């Protein structure tokens, strides 16, 4: 198969330009519960609540954990719980739960606005404010307000210039509007700050593939898999690279592996679609 034919067949694959675009709201909440560990620290939660006086003894760390669990399972209840808790001295932690619940309820703009206000009024450190702004940017991104999301992330980066995750997040926004050069700049910065940041290598490899810089794409995806062999997104992407080269059996193997890692994920769904399209193309 010629290179031209292989590239043409690659058009049959599902191209995931931006990993965030294929994440559900529940995955969004999970992502930030994992990535923004500073906010989940018991010490930080208690300090958040200390700014508001309260008459009754409340275990605010326990309340925050319960509220954020409701964000995942029943965001409307989390919203109501957060409002009640805030009235009892929940402070910034309660406000964070409220804003998170709004985003999970798909009230993206309102949730993002409240996140921004929380960051603006918080008495915490610059780094902490940057984390909250990053979550606000996610709300704007989900609301398809890409310019606002990018601007908010730029503000966050100004507050915490050494946080690689912020550059990855801004790269997501920039890539969604096909500003690939700017996105690559952000990803280059991210890996310079953390050479083991797998997400950055996978996403940079995706952009290299989309811009037909296949040698660099292979380098990044192989490096990501060397760091984390069971990374489903990297396997999905490597399968696309194999497909471009006409190595359908290897592409199938990687896509099947991506499905096995987490069959219910949207990465697995994309892999299934690619398998279906490849099989249809093969039968033609």
* Res 90: pLDDT: 87
**CA atoms of 52 and 54, how far apart (whole Å):** 6
The tokens 């330009």 sit on which residue?
A: 17
- 61 within some domain: no
pLDDT of residue 262 exceeding 50, the answer is yes
- The tens digit of pLDDT for each residue in 199-256 reads 999 999 999 999 999 999 999 999 999 999 999 999 999 999 999 999 999 999 999 9
- The tens digit of pLDDT for each residue in 45-76 reads 444 544 444 455 778 888 899 999 999 999 99
- 215 within some domain: yes
Q: pTM for the complete prediction?
A: 0.81
- 250 within some domain: yes
* Res 280: pLDDT: 81
Which range of residues forms the domain containing residue 275?
1-17+195-284
Other residues' Cβ atoms within 10 Å of the Cβ of residue 175 = 25
On average, the pLDDT of the chain sits at 84
- 260 within some domain: yes
**CA atoms of 229 and 199, how far apart (whole Å):** 13
**Spatial contact of 102 and 140, defined as CB atoms under 8 Å apart:** no
C-alpha pair distances (Å), 110 with each of 12, 13, 15, 94, 139: 38, 36, 31, 16, 8
- 246 within some domain: yes
- 131 within some domain: no
Half-sphere exposure of 197 (CA within 13 A, CB side): 24
CA angle 254, 201, 264 (to 5 degrees): 45
- 28 within some domain: no
Burial 85-110 (b: 16+ CB within 10 A, else e): bbebbbbbbbbbbbbbbbbbbebbbe
**CA atoms of 207 and 184, how far apart (whole Å):** 8
pLDDT of residue 39 exceeding 70, the answer is no
Q: Which residue intervals of the chain are DSSP H helices?
A: 3-10, 25-35, 37-40, 42-49, 60-73, 75-85, 91-104, 108-121, 126-142, 146-159, 164-176, 180-193, 198-210, 214-227, 232-244, 248-261, 266-283
Residue 194 backbone dihedrals phi, psi, to 5 degrees: -145, 100
- The tens digit of pLDDT for each residue in 7-33 reads 444 445 554 433 333 343 334 334 443
* Res 16: pLDDT: 43
Would the CA dihedral through 137, 200, 104, 273 be positive or negative?
Answer: positive
* Res 88: pLDDT: 87
* Domain containing residue 227: CATH number: 1.25.40.10
**CA atoms of 68 and 78, how far apart (whole Å):** 7
Mean pLDDT of 131-149: 95
**CA atoms of 31 and 165, how far apart (whole Å):** 12
- 157 within some domain: no
Number of domains in the chain: 1
C-alpha pair distances (Å), 227 with each of 39, 182, 201: 27, 25, 10
């Amino acid at each position: 198969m010629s290179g031209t034919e292989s590239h043409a067949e690659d058009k049959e694959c599902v191209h995931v330009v931006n990993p965030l675009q294929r994440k559900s709201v529940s995955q969004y909440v999970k992502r930030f519960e994992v990535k923004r560990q500073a906010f989940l620290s018991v010490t930080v939660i208690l300090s958040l609540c200390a700014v508001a006086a309260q008459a009754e003894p409340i275990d605010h760390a326990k309340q925050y954990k319960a509220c954020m669990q409701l964000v995942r399972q029943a965001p409307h209840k989390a919203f109501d719980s957060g409002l009640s808790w805030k009235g009892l001295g929940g402070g910034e932690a309660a406000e964070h739960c409220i804003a998170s619940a709004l985003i999970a309820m798909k009230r993206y703009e309102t949730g993002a606005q409240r996140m921004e206000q929380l960051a603006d009024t918080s008495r915490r450190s610059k780094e902490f404010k940057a984390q909250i702004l990053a979550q606000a940017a996610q709300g704007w991104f989900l609301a398809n307000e890409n310019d606002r999301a990018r601007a908010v992330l730029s503000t966050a980066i100004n507050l915490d210039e050494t946080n690689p995750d912020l550059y990855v997040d801004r790269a997501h926004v920039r890539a969604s509007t096909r500003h690939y050069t700017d996105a690559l700049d952000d990803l280059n910065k991210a890996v310079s700050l953390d050479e083991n940041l797998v997400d950055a290598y996978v996403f940079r490899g995706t952009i290299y593939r989309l811009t037909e810089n296949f040698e660099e794409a292979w380098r990044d995806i192989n490096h990501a898999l060397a760091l984390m062999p069971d990374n489903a997104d990297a396997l999905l992407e490597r399968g696309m690279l194999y497909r471009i080269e006409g190595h359908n059996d290897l592409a199938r193997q990687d896509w099947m592996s991506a499905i096995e890692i987490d069959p219910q994920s949207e990465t697995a769904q994309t892999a299934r679609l690619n398998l279906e399209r490849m099989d249809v193309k093969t039968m033609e």
